[in-house]
Amino acid sequence: MRSPAADRRRPTLWDGLTALLVATAAFLLLAALQSEPGESLTAAVTLDGEILAEYRLEEITQPVTLTLDELSYPLTLLVEGDGVSILHSDCPSQDCVHTGKITQAGQQIICLPNRLIVSLTGTHDLDFDAVTG
Amino acid sequence: MTHGLQRLTRSAVLTALALALSVAEGLVPLTILFPLPGLRLGLANLVTVYALCRLSGREALLILTARCLLGSLLGGNLMALAFSLTGGLLALAVMALLVHLPGLSLFGVSIAGAAAHNTGQILAAIVVLGSRAPLVYLPPLLLCSLVTGAVTGGVSMLLVQRLPAPGRA
């Protein structure tokens, strides 16, 4: 089975174009996902599609910890006035903990083993301007 | 008969190699440097590229499937299997197409494969979560796949050229 790609010894122009295509796709997607920065941030904790808890960050003066023991891998969330982070999780991968603190609209912490999503959305103060995603 | 035996042995050795590479990679996860869920160097992809270039698409598919199944038995779970299989199959499909195009080298093939792998993983995550939330991870993952794809592409280029073609040795 002959393949021209297998016999080349150096990158070609087409390789550059492939890389450019991937980069363009990344930036287009990034732009499409960019959410409108709102005046205030709302953090929503969603488990398996259902909202468990919602916090308006501007109303948080003292950091709040939320411990979810009923999950398959119990975890602890820290909600602060400027963002949300996961303090501790019993899951093996620890991806959610490594994500760190999310502070901007559109950012998310995803815990796949638990099917848990913590998302920040920007909300305007007017009710009819609410954005759902 | 001897020919069939040769193919079987070759595929088995390559599967073991792919498995060992992916386990070894798990020991030094890139996510420590750069916390992005799903980020991997994709060393096992070297074996897929080699199999595509020097064996056949069918063998590459067999090796990939066996590696994913065995890998999930070794350290993962069913969900990890869903991710590695969707990503791996999509990457293999894309690379199998591109490897026969004139004009591309293994750099381009590997970059496209890495990008396809990440896209497949994110698609699997979207299905598992029932939400399009994981899509936010795709742009940074795609940008990382430029680097990881170029690295594995460079290595696979060396590998394919330095290793004697099987069956003729």
pLDDT (tens, 9 = 90+) of chain B, 169 residues, equals 578 898 899 999 999 999 999 888 888 877 777 777 778 888 999 999 999 998 899 999 999 999 999 988 887 677 788 888 999 999 999 999 999 888 899 999 999 999 999 999 999 989 988 888 889 889 999 999 999 999 999 999 999 888 877 665 4
Q: Given the structure tokens 């963002």, which residue do they identify?
A: A83
Is this complex scored with an ipTM above 0.90? no
Q: Establish if B140 touches chain A: CB-CB under 8 angstroms.
A: yes
For residue A71, the model assigns a pLDDT of: 84
For residue B97, the model assigns a pLDDT of: 94
Class of domain B3-162: mainly alpha
> For chain A, which residues make up each domain, given as ranges?
41-122
Class of domain A41-122: mainly beta
Alpha carbon of A81: minimum distance to chain B alpha carbons (Å): 23
| Segment A57-88, tens digit of pLDDT | 888 888 889 998 888 889 999 998 888 999 98
Contacts with B142 from chain A: Cβ below 8 Å: 22-23, 25-26, 29
| Rounded-to-integer distance, Cα A4 and Cα A14, Å | 13
| Segment A11-54, tens digit of pLDDT | 889 999 999 999 999 999 988 887 666 668 889 998 887 888 88
For residue B33, the model assigns a pLDDT of: 75
Contact residues, chain A to chain B, C-beta under 8 Å: 1, 3-19, 22-23, 25-27, 29-30, 33, 46, 48-49, 93, 95, 98-100, 106-108, 110, 112-113, 115, 117, 119
More confidently predicted of A84 and A8: A84
For residue B98, the model assigns a pLDDT of: 94
For residue A20, the model assigns a pLDDT of: 95
Closest CA to A26 of B52, B64, B119, B100: B119
| Rounded-to-integer distance, Cα A102 and Cα A47, Å | 18
Q: Facing residues of A122 across strands?
A: A41
Q: Judging by DSSP bridges, how do beta strands A116-123 and A108-111 pair with one another?
A: antiparallel
